[in-house]
Structure formats: structure tokens, C-alpha cells
């Protein structure tokens, strides 16, 4: 116990939750014992003791329903799910119910489903687990896709005198001519940035060298300018222009992780197709016709 002035009582300024947060920070290597102790207000000696083999947690309260082997298996399952990007939530309660349904026992919970008190007691018994806030950063997750805009969109409905046999419209540009546009969206995008750019290919379509220049001279400088933390994830379709050797070297150097969306499923999985392009093209068509 820390020294206190004569006549005063010692009062802890930390609780079990502070200890668990400090131990978690030490365990994942993000902090030293000294740093964690200062941040979470826990004495370094306490952290040293709690992290040593000498510490034995005494189980308090109601007797546990699961065996030690079952709890160990449950902890292993939670850790494995978290490593694969599926952190545990209320599905832990369902997992316990599944265990009790498959291996019945005399004493259990109502409908084999544990309550909040049992869940909190489970966390107190197992210091390896702690409730954390998700660390997803919308500024580091991007989606890219290309689409085309018609320079001469067709107007299906025209105003004409009743009975007119020939109703036509003079094209304002070469029919079927289009402009290919490469869009990149972050998960936290709010508006189109001002510093967009124009590239050119001999075919008018996106080519490997054009996309290489886009990543190196447009996309990457945008990330640096906006102080985005690297590495970033960039979801794209599996088009051959995204898979060249030179681009692979470049994105490795720039810490841009390209992830291909499943083929033949972009109509469902591609966020740009699902949510963004339709309203943009609708407004584009209206503006051009006006």
C-alpha cells in the first residue's frame, strides 16, 4: 500500500477496469508498464504483480456453470474471431447457450442464456479479455471505381406538337462519345475535393500506365496532404490495369494495400455502383441537357 500522511485514509484512484485496460495496452506492446501506469492511473508495482505468475485471481460470487476447459475453449474462440476481424459482442451469450444446450447439466441459467451479471463475472475471471472500442478509421479505407459519362446523353422524352410525324433533336456532340472518370471514395467522404486531375490515353479508356500515374501522382499526394495515416486499404475490381507488376511495387512502397472485389459481383459489392454513381449520373445528364 502506498504511503499516506498520518491521520488520513488511503483511497484507491483506480478500479479493475483501469487495471485491465493497462494490462491490455502492455500485452499488445503499445505501452510500457510505466506509460500504462501513468495513463490509466495504476501503480507500476500493481501492474508488475498482476502480470506475474504470482497473481492468482480468486473467483467470487456465484459458482461458474461452465467447466474450466469450456471457458478456455470459449476464450480461444473469442481471440480467434477477433484476429479474423469478427470481435465478440452478444454472440458470446449465444455461444454459452450453445454449449449448455449440447451438454445439459442440472444447474444452469434461464433458457441456458446467461445474463449481464454472469457476462461481467466471466470478464473479471479472465484478464486476457477486455471491452474495447473498435479501431476502424474511415479515413484509411478507400474504394475506387471507373465509370463513363455520356457527352451527348439521349433525351427519351421531348415536347412536340400533337400529331407531328417527325420528332428529332440535334446532337450537341458526337453520338456515343463518353468521358471515363476514376473515382476514389473514403469511408468518411463528405464532398468532392477541388484538386482533381485529367489524364489521357490513346483509346480513351483507363490503361495500366494511366492508373499507375493516378495512384502515384494524384491519390498518394492527396493522402499525404490530408495527413492520412498509412497504410491504407483500397478496394478495387480485378481489372488487369490494377494488377501490373510496376503498380504492385509502387503501392508496396507507398503503403497502399489493394484488395480486389470478387469478380462478377461488383453490382452487389461495389459501393460506387450501388450508392454513388446513379445519382451523380442523373445530375450529370440533367446538367448536360440543360
- Give the pLDDT band of residue 3 (cuts 50, 70, 90): low
pLDDT of 205 > 70? The answer is yes
Q: What is the mean pLDDT of residues 226-235?
A: 92
Structure confidence at residue 61 (pLDDT): 53
In angstroms, what is the C-alpha Rg of the chain? 30
Triad 103, 108, 112: Cα angle to 5°: 70
- Give this prediction's pTM: 0.52
Q: What is the mean pLDDT of the chain?
A: 82
pLDDT of 278 > 80? The answer is yes
Q: How far is CA 11 from CA 15, 18, 124, 221, in A?
A: 11, 15, 21, 53
Task: Write out the DSSP string of 159-191.
Answer: ---TT-S------SS-TT-EEEEEEEEETT--S
Q: What is the mean pLDDT of residues 180-198?
A: 83
Domains in the chain and their CATH numbers? 16-125 (no CATH), 138-159+174-289 (3.30.420.10)
Which of 124-128, 141-145, 162-166, 285-289 reaches the highest mean pLDDT? 141-145
Structure confidence at residue 9 (pLDDT): 61
- Give the pLDDT band of residue 155 (cuts 50, 70, 90): low
167 against 114, higher pLDDT: 114
Q: How far is CA 111 from the centre of its chain?
A: 35
- Give the pLDDT band of residue 11 (cuts 50, 70, 90): low
Q: What is the mean pLDDT of residues 227-251?
A: 89
Contact 220, 196 (CB under 8 A): no
Structure confidence at residue 91 (pLDDT): 82
- Give the pLDDT band of residue 10 (cuts 50, 70, 90): low
Amino acid at each position: 500500500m502506498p504511503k499516506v500522511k498520518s491521520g488520513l485514509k488511503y483511497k484507491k484512484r483506480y478500479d479493475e477496469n483501469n487495471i485491465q485496460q493497462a494490462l491490455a495496452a502492455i500485452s499488445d506492446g503499445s505501452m510500457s508498464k510505466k506509460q500504462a501506469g501513468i495513463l490509466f492511473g495504476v501503480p507500476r508495482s500493481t501492474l508488475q504483480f498482476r502480470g506475474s505468475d504470482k497473481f492468482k485471481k480468486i473467483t467470487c460470487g456465484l459458482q461458474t456453470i461452465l467447466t474450466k476447459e469450456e471457458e478456455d475453449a470459449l476464450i480461444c474462440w473469442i481471440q480467434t474471431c477477433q484476429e479474423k476481424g469478427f470481435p465478440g459482442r452478444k454472440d458470446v451469450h449465444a455461444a454459452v447457450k450453445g454449449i449448455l444446450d449440447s451438454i445439459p447439466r442440472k444447474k444452469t441459467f434461464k433458457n441456458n442464456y446467461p445474463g449481464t451479471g454472469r457476462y461481467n463475472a466471466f470478464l473479471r475471471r479472465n484478464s486476457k479479455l477486455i471491452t474495447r472500442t473498435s479501431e476502424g478509421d474511415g479515413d484509411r479505407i478507400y474504394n475506387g471505381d471507373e465509370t463513363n459519362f455520356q457527352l451527348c446523353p439521349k433525351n427519351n422524352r421531348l415536347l412536340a406538337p400533337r400529331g407531328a410525324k417527325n420528332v428529332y433533336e440535334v446532337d450537341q456532340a458526337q453520338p456515343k462519345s463518353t468521358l471515363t472518370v476514376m473515382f476514389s471514395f473514403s469511408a468518411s467522404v463528405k464532398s468532392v475535393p477541388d484538386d482533381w486531375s485529367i489524364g489521357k490515353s490513346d483509346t480513351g479508356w483507363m490503361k495500366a500506365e494511366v492508373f499507375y500515374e493516378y495512384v502515384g501522382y494524384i491519390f498518394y499526394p492527396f493522402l499525404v496532404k490530408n495527413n492520412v495515416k498509412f497504410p491504407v486499404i483500397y478496394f478495387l475490381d480485378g481489372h488487369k490495369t490494377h494488377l501490373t507488376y510496376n503498380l504492385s511495387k509502387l503501392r508496396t512502397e507507398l503503403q497502399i494495400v489493394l484488395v480486389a472485389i470478387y469478380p462478377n459481383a461488383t453490382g452487389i459489392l461495389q459501393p460506387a455502383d450501388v450508392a454513388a454513381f446513379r445519382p451523380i449520373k442523373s445530375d450529370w445528364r440533367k446538367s448536360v441537357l440543360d
